[in-house]
A and B are shown apart, each in its own frame.
Chain A
Amino acid sequence: MAESPAPARATPSSGVRPFRSRWARFLLVASVIGPGIITANVDNDAGGIATYSIAGAEFGYTLLWTLVPITLALILVQEMTARMGVVTGKGLSDLIRERFGVKSTFFVMLALVVANLGNTVAEFAGVAGSLEIFGVPRWISVPIVAGLVWLLVVKGTARVVERIFLAACVFYVAYLIAGFLARPDWGEVARGTLIPTLPFTGPALTMVVTLVGTTIAPWMQFYLQSAIVEKGVRVEDYPLSRLDVVVGCIFTDVVAFFIVLACAATIYKAGGHIDTAKDAALALRPLAGKYASALFAFGLFNASVFAASILPLSTTYYVCEAFGWESGIDKRRDEAPQFYFLYAAMIVVGAGLLLVPGLPLLKIMLLSQTANGVLLPFILVYMLLLAGDERLMGRYRNGRWLSVTAWATTALLVLLTVAMLWLTLRG
């Protein structure tokens, strides 16, 4: 650019622009990175932590190896979602509506709302459980956190919220430290990770299926794709976006790995039994010390609040977008009635159920897991049809090999999901 000497450049206050090019690369990274890492971390929510804890407590190190193929499948699915977001600039619910019509959309959205409502209940249960360890009763913690979630979303700008979320991702390191504090037998860890073994028993199979189901969830695809569209990532910057997704998936499963490991090294060794993530944190205290236990509880709190901030709002957005209702917190209540109703309902019902005494919470979460399970095959098949569509994706559609791999993985996941449903419904 032909620049005339800048009259103001001599003064320090006008130095922003000349530095721009030096920062350009950094800014570009910051403008693309985020959605993948955040999505993958929200995946380790209260339900996920419970599942990984139980896997470690009940089966020791033996199921660690399953996390490797699970990570690969997660990357495969998430990469496709991210690519669709970048190329089409539309959310997954829009694409499903435009391609598969109102009926499919309605049932997908219905299942998504049920599944995510159940997930939200699980998140608030995580909030209640983790703070009860620190002596805070749930009738205090749950309303306060519900209020904070509402506030964060209504008052926070997208940029601030994303920064808070990225910071929340850092706190997952708590689980890595807790894993070390548990003093695992690293030789056994290596054996459990590298040598695939699967005891052919009902409980072990159920556990594997649950691990897969909790890691690759339908809501993630909707969330990731919308977050990428919202960021306005351009096709030229897609490689960075892909990096974001891959790093996020790997980090998530490393965290999962350390949760399994912490519980395997302690609760499994001592022959204990747990049902929830709170049980795990409590069981760690006599076995790995109060710091490990506190870190575990803190991690659970962080993860639960994190997911509780994302699930109700994002679910509301997909539904409104799919049906063409006004949405967004910048709209007034009378401009976007469906949006506010659904959002308030998700939070009030999700948090409120925790405060009803004597409600079978585990059953409710089970129902949500079932809704997730029913939904996943449909979502995956829709995604594969969309990602392979030349009219929609142009030269970014799934190539032949990716297509074959993706369909095979989907078939396997569907098989596992059907198995899980069958096992859950049988008891």
Chain B
Amino acid sequence: MPGTQNDNASAPPPGVRSEPPREGSFLFLSELLGLPVVGAGERIGALVDLLADASGAYPRVRALRVRTRKGGELKRVEWEDVEGWDEGGIRLKRGAEALRPLQLLSAEIPLAQDVLDRQIVDTDDAKVERVNDLHLLHARGDLRVAHVDVGFRGLVRRMGWQRLVDALVRGVRPGSPYLKTEKLVSWKHVQPLAAGSPRVRLDLSRAALAGIHPADLAEILEDLDRRERAVLFRELPVEAAADALEEVEPELQRELLHALEPEKAADVLEEMQADDAADLLADLPREESAELLAEMEPAEAREVERLLTYDEDSAGGMMNPEFLRLSPELTASQALERVREQARNIAHLHDAFVVGPDGKLTGVLSLRDIIVAKPESRVLGLMHEHPAPLKPDDKARKVAELAAKYNLFSLPVEDDSGKVLGVVTVDDVLEKVLHG
């Protein structure tokens, strides 16, 4: 290769070192794994794994897993017994007596076994990544996990080709971004998912998970493998789980619901919009949906049960029985008060439906109409007739056409006597027309 420069010409990239580690320096897990472990001047084994306490923000290494030279057994060596290390190996303060029986304390994660090469969720970027390496910080005598490496350079390093590839790239294109960019994700944004991970860590990052947008969370769940998916889903708070469940594909909904205990599954179903919950229950075997309905709050269960009797692709199957209801005699300011009271349980607040004492639809008005109206004006005067009320059997296609024709955001569903059963919103219709 022409023009290959001497390595000394530029500073070594992070992670490649030739001198013993200084205080406050970074190194990669892959540099340590496989190193000989030397005690009392004698080689006693090789490093297999690091056990880190995951309860802190940045897990501290508490012990080593060592495969012994004699017999090839796995043993544990406490971090306190480690004197230091360099490229030649890890030096212990004492000899073979430092080897203790293998055990994993609670809150400890075996890093090589449960994090390296596994899938994690990057809660900052809302993405699923595979861990190529772990970036460790050595400071004040402690070794802590600082970042996970998810970049291409990490792969190259694991192959043991970093020097070669670096030299090649530097020869061809000295300014290549490859040489400078490490794709590192800070541990505080990392959600490990190995089934055996201690729960401590998960509690810490729960808040981060709940902060991810439901649509992103759904995509993460779809990208993960089944076991990791179940681990993640079980750890989500009920509300986040319900929101994410509304967003994922139907096949996945069933799988995820199965991952939960029946009680929690019922809680999640209650939290979901009733029409989505009904769609999901309709796809389950009859015994299962009956069991879940029995676990749910009676009121919510009744609502969902009623929706279950309609065809999924009809207005009845798509409608949500919870919608903004107003009485005709209210003033605009009273109406606004009523909206505020109901808002907590209702997903879409664009339109309010005016329902008489007999339960029949008398008219419709938008939240905007209420806000811009004089506070004392009556709902009866503000409302207008809805142009396209639906029957429960109307097909999704027809509903979409009506919504497009009249520019409607929501359409009421009436029974034969004119009583309002629920409201269909365009988001549900779009989903059916696009994917149905």
Contacts and interface: CB of A to CB of B under 8 A. Distances in A.
A139 interface: no
A1 B158 contact: no
A9 B289 CA distance: 19
Interface in A220-239: 229, 232, 234
A422 B176 CA distance: 44
Contacts of A363: none
Contact of A16 (B132, B159, B311): B311
Interface string B108-144: 0000000001110000000001111000000000000
A229 B223 CA distance: 12
Q: How large is the interface on B (under 10, 10 to 19, 20 to 34, 35 or more residues)?
A: 35 or more
Interface string A89-104: 1100010011001110
B226 A14 contact: no
Nearest to B293: A1
Contact of B310 (A1, A3, A8, A89): A8
Given A3-B309, A94-B225, A101-B117, A324 B314 contact: no
A291 interface: no
A11 B285 CA distance: 23
A171 interface: no
Which residue of B129, B155, B312 has the most chain A CB atoms within 10 A of its CB atom? B155
A3 B293 CA distance: 11
B310 A90 contact: no
Contacts of A20: 282, 286
Contacts of A89: 225-227, 229
A400 to B, nearest CB: 24
A324 B130 contact: yes
Contacts, number: 94
Contacts of A97: 117, 130
B314 A4 contact: no
A7 B308 contact: no
A170 interface: no
Contact of B309 (A9, A13, A103, A323): A9
Interface string A275-303: 00000000000000000000000000000
A180 interface: no
Nearest to B194: A98
Nearest to B119: A324
Nearest to A1: B290
B155 A1 contact: no
Contacts of B286: 1, 20-21
A104 to B, nearest CB: 11
Nearest to B394: A13
B415 interface: yes
Contact of B226 (A8, A9, A17, A90): A90
Contact of A102 (B132, B150, B305, B392): B132
Contacts of A101: 117, 158
Contacts of B69: none
Contacts of A94: 225
B285 A24 contact: yes
Which residue of B160, B255, B285, B311 has the most chain A CB atoms within 10 A of its CB atom? B311
A372 to B, nearest CB: 23
Interface in B369-428: 392-393, 395, 415
A24 B283 CA distance: 10
Given A90-B227, A232-B251, A17 B130 contact: no
B17 interface: no
Interface in A1-58: 1-4, 6-9, 11, 13-17, 20-21, 24
Interface in A357-383: none
A395 to B, nearest CB: 16
A16 B393 contact: no
A160 B118 CA distance: 32
A33 B251 CA distance: 16
17 contacts: A1-B289, A4-B305, A4-B306, A8-B392, A9-B309, A13-B314, A20-B282, A88-B226, A88-B227, A89-B225, A89-B227, A89-B229, A232-B251, A232-B252, A234-B258, A324-B129, A324-B130
10 interchain residue pairs of minimum CB distance: A324-B130, A89-B226, A6-B309, A102-B158, A1-B290, A14-B311, A90-B225, A16-B311, A98-B117, A8-B392
Interface of B: 117-119, 129-132, 150, 155, 158-160, 225-227, 229, 251-252, 255, 258, 282, 285-286, 289-290, 293, 305-306, 308-314, 316, 392-393, 395, 415
